Homo-oligomer: A and B are copies of this chain.
Amino acid sequence: MDFQALSPELVLAFEHIVGVEYVLTAQRTEAAAYADYGRDHTEDLHFAPEVVLRPADAEQISRIVRLCHENHVPVTARGAGTGLSGGALPIHHGVVLSTERLNRIIQIDERNLQATVEPGVINEVFQNAVKEVGLFYPPDPASKGSCFLGGNLAHSSGGPKAVKYGTTRDYVLNLQVVLPTGEIIWTAANTLKNSTGYNLTQLMVGSEGTLGIITQVVFRLLPYPQHNILMLVPFRQVEQAAEAVSAVFRAGIIPSGMEFMEREAIAWSSDYLKIPLTLPEDIRAHLLIELDGQDLDELYKEAEQVYGVLEKYDVGEILLADNATQKDELWKIRRNIGNSVRYNSVYKEEDTVVPRAELPTLLKGVKEIGARYGFKSVCYGHAGDGNLHVNIIRGDLDDEMWDVGLRQPITEIFELCVRLGGTISGEHGIGLVQKGYIGIALQETNLNLMRGIKGVFDPHGIMNPGKIF
């Protein structure tokens, strides 16, 4: 695609649409604040926007996008910038369109267990708002305290509760979208079921801002589960931890959380948070297992069944969190693994996913590949979903190895995923940094269909160009 540089006339037109105070340029913005709009949480990558726009609503976004469409100017929509695949990076410059002002919870419909929200609402703010009226929005990425629902939609983000409750896409009923041509549509209806034409809703979810900009969402909600039980299970052998995951499900139990953490993952995070945690020398990995429901007695029965399954493995002393503070601390440790790794070193995060029972094989393969190519990895993730986050630590790897040399071992890791029936991203998306590997997961025919769909939605290719494929 040939893109046009931004003309001063276009910047004036944007100022007319959104108001001059909501048009940020490098010239008149504090440098650090402006630079933030050119990065996300992916490695140490940065690309400078030509202009940053902070519109108020779908109508303004429609007018902006229409101008960009007519003038062949790239538009990269941006939420909180917590993405891990570079999806929000404006690699072709142009307009960065921040959704931070679209942050209203428009309606919580208690009669229908639904809510209508804007994409700039923080995930946890939304969770708390619906919890106040006894309702439950399950998707909870590690960054839930800062990430936007719009970004969650862009990548179909998951989180620990996905194992029982599914990912973001499982809660979306209907989307208001500004198309790359500026037209505004609703993708579906506010119903639990819909067999009325092609599923544009699920096509938008996970399309990483390449097909349009989501400006409102109707989510379905659940009754809030009143009780939960949390246990931290230490394993002396890493692969046994991975094996135990599958055994719990085969016993008929669906936990609301089933997280795997290598020794380094939990150790780095508890150090980073300064939360003391006893970690005997012989413990190599942990599972964090949560059960939830409406009846505590029932949960204790389930917990006993889980203990029964775990007896078959070489486990250390199981910690059963017995109050809210302890539960919060354990989840805080789990959620901050990524931050603690980032604090220690630059890293590349691979979002591998395989059928659940293949996790031990994947983990073994990752370590074997690391040993062969001489890099260290910290592994953790949503074991119940077969979703393993492999963090490759920069440590003292040189530029050549970091920028080029790692491509071969990463390729081997992804090829292993695909051989095991899996794929290269479970919840982070392809964005920029996994784009070079997508051919491992998808045939050229699939990619051509996707390119064709992209062309239908975005004939000038202006919407988040250079991502996914």
A-to-B contact residues, CB < 8 Å: 109-114, 134, 155-158, 162-163, 167, 169-170, 179, 183, 185-200, 202-203, 205-207, 211, 222-224, 226, 246, 249-250, 252-254, 294-295, 298, 301, 351, 353-358, 382, 385-387, 418, 421-430, 438, 441-443, 445-447, 449-450, 452-453, 455-457, 468-469
Contact = CB atoms under 8 A, between A and B. Distances in A.
Interface secondary structure of A, over-half rule: loop
Contact of A202 (B199, B294, B421): B199
Contact of A353 (B191, B199, B253, B354): B191
A355 B194 contact: no
B423 A249 contact: no
A93 B199 CA distance: 27
Given A185-B445, A250-B111, A421 B353 contact: no
B252 A196 contact: no
5 contacts: A188-B423, A194-B426, A197-B441, A197-B450, A452-B456
A191 B388 CA distance: 12
B456 A193 contact: no
Contact of A195 (B156, B422, B445, B449): B156
Nearest to A294: B252
Given A191-B423, A418-B189, A196 B438 contact: yes
Contact of A421 (B190, B246, B446): B190
A364 B187 CA distance: 27
Given A189-B418, A301-B295, A426-B193, A200 B446 contact: yes
Contacts of A468: 197-198
B252 A355 contact: no
B298 A442 contact: no
Contact of A250 (B110, B188, B449): B110
Given A193-B427, A426-B194, A449 B200 contact: yes
Contacts of A418: 189
Contacts of A254: 222-223
Copies of this chain per assembly:
2
A134 to B, nearest CB: 7
Given A185-B446, A195-B427, A223-B249, 6 more contacts: A109-B357, A189-B353, A197-B430, A199-B202, A199-B206, A449-B456
A453 B453 contact: yes
A256 to B, nearest CB: 14
B194 A353 contact: yes
Nearest to A136: B252
A109 B355 contact: yes
A193 B158 contact: yes
Contacts of A428: 195
B193 A446 contact: no
Nearest to A387: B193
Nearest to A301: B295
A429 B195 contact: yes
Contacts of A114: 355
B192 A203 contact: no
Contacts of A194: 156, 206, 353, 423, 425-426
A195 B446 contact: no
Nearest to A155: B195
A203 B198 contact: yes
A134 B252 contact: yes
B155 A356 contact: no
Contacts of A429: 195
A428 B195 CA distance: 6
| Residue with the highest number of chain B CB atoms closer than 10 Å, among A110, A191, A443 | A191
Contacts of A446: 185, 187, 197, 200
Contact of A424 (B109, B179, B196): B196
Nearest to A429: B195
B452 A191 contact: no
B195 A386 contact: no
Contacts of A443: 185-186
A441 B109 contact: no
| Residue with the highest number of chain B CB atoms closer than 10 Å, among A196, A203, A207, A250 | A196
A356 B192 contact: yes
A364 to B, nearest CB: 16
A164 B169 CA distance: 17
Nearest to A468: B197
Given A112-B357, A353-B189, A205 B197 contact: no
